[in-house]
Amino acid sequence: MYSFVFIPLACAGLLPGVLSVARAQSDLQDSLRQKQGIEHRLTKLVIVGEEKTLPAQPKITLKIVADGLVGGKSAVNLYFGGFKTDDAGSVHWNSPGFAVTMMAGPEDLMNLEQQFLLALQSTQRIRVLGRGLTFETEGGATQLTFEEVNPEPLALENLLGKKLVLARMIVDGKETALPGEPELTLLASDGRVSGKSGVNSYTGSYKLLSDDGIEFPRAFATTRMAGPPELMDLENSFLKALSAVERIHPNAGGVVLENDAKTILLEFVLR
């Protein structure tokens, strides 16, 4: 059964505007979802009208890893943070700010990293333009422009037998903090997979499917050592997430595993 809501004539003049705002918000959300999982490199950084010089290396990057969550590399460290967009297309960053790893680096890169993170957090609008993303303040005095990174083609076969270390883990759309030690690893070869899952070692099998599909048909076998509760919880979360991935995307630096809903993402890098 259908139900109807009647709009008073006095409000009828508002209807086109309401529809256009809703359509704009829907278009923005659709565009952001299409950008999910795609690495973007910072190509222009303007802070209060002054353009900053960006080094060729290391890259400063941004990736929309899930709805309302971004992450990337901020010159020296990794960062991630949450955001919301409203009906006007504005962006609102979650408090208290971005979470970052705690590695040290050259003073000039550390300064650039600080400027980048503060500038990004100060932005109030987001625009999706073709292969690019632009974050800016009202009036555009501070502006960060990102362009899609074309991953270098790398056959999955080139990763077989090589140690891959987990660099990022998203479960249920939320970033999981990873310890520096112990490393969580993956080693794949001839339909078999093994590695370190935090406290224990694990082994299992995998099948490659069409259209970048992958599945782990059986539960992983693990050793039975005990460890600190936080590492045991991380291990359980990692193995559960790994068993639920459905897509595999090799790239120049390693491989990304994710589920179709993009609520799980495991990014491994070559070491």
Q: Are residues 176 and 266 in the same domain?
A: yes
- Mean pLDDT, residues 184-196: 93
Same domain as 58, residue 78:
yes
Does residue 183 share a domain with residue 104?
no
For residue 60, the cross-strand partners are: 74
- Which of 148, 169, 196 is the last residue before a domain boundary? 148
Residues 138 and 184 reside in one and the same domain: no
Are 104 and 80 within one domain?
Answer: yes
Round the average pLDDT of the chain to a whole number and report it. 85
- What pLDDT is recorded for position 48? 95
Q: What are phi and psi of 240, to 5 degrees?
A: -65, -45
pLDDT at 182 over 80: yes
**Residue at 7 is within a domain:** no
Tell me how far apart the alpha carbons of residues 112 and 77 are, in angstroms, rounded to a whole number: 11
Select the highest-mean-pLDDT range: 15-24, 26-35, 126-135.
Answer: 126-135
The pLDDT score that the predictor gives to residue 50 is: 95
Alpha-helical runs (H) found in 187-228: none
Is residue 50 assigned to a domain?
yes
Residues 210, 204 contacting (CB under 8 angstroms):
no
Residue 24's pLDDT band, with cuts at 50, 70 and 90, is very low
Share of the chain above pLDDT 90, in %: 57
Query: Considering the domain boundaries, does residue 102 fall inside one?
Result: yes
Convert the pLDDT of each residue in 74-109 to its tens digit. 988 999 999 998 767 789 999 888 999 888 889 999
Work out the pLDDT band at 129, boundaries 50, 70, 90.
Answer: confident
pLDDT tier at 4 (50, 70, 90 boundaries)? very low
Token digits of residue 223: 């050793």
Average pLDDT for 14-21 = 40
Residue 142 has pLDDT above 50, yes or no: yes
pLDDT at 22: 43
Residues 254 and 163 placed together within one structural domain of the fold = yes
pLDDT confidence tier of residue 125, bands split at 50, 70 and 90? very high
Residues 138 and 171 reside in one and the same domain: no
**Is the pLDDT reported for residue 57 higher than 60?**
yes
Q: Summarize pLDDT for 197-249 with one digit per residue, the tens.
A: 999 999 999 998 887 899 999 999 999 999 999 999 999 999 999 999 999 98
Residue 13 predicted with pLDDT over 50:
no
Judge contact between 78 and 101, C-beta under 8 A.
yes
Are 75 and 144 part of one and the same domain? yes
The whole domain housing 54 covers: 37-148
In a domain, 93, yes or no: yes
**Residue 59 domain-assigned?**
yes
pLDDT in tens, 246-262: 999 887 678 899 998 88
> pLDDT value at position 205?
95
Residue 157 has pLDDT above 50, yes or no: yes
Sign, Cα dihedral of 105, 107, 112, 115: positive
Q: How many domains does the chain have?
A: 2
Domain boundary among 148, 165, 190: 148
Residue 217 contacts residue 209 (beta carbons within 8 Å): no
For residues 136 and 196, state if they share a domain.
Answer: no
Domain with residue 169: its CATH number is 2.40.128.270
> Are 174 and 218 in the same domain?
yes
0.75 exceeded by pTM: no
* Residues 234 and 161 reside in one and the same domain: yes
Assess whether 84 and 133 both reside in one domain.
yes
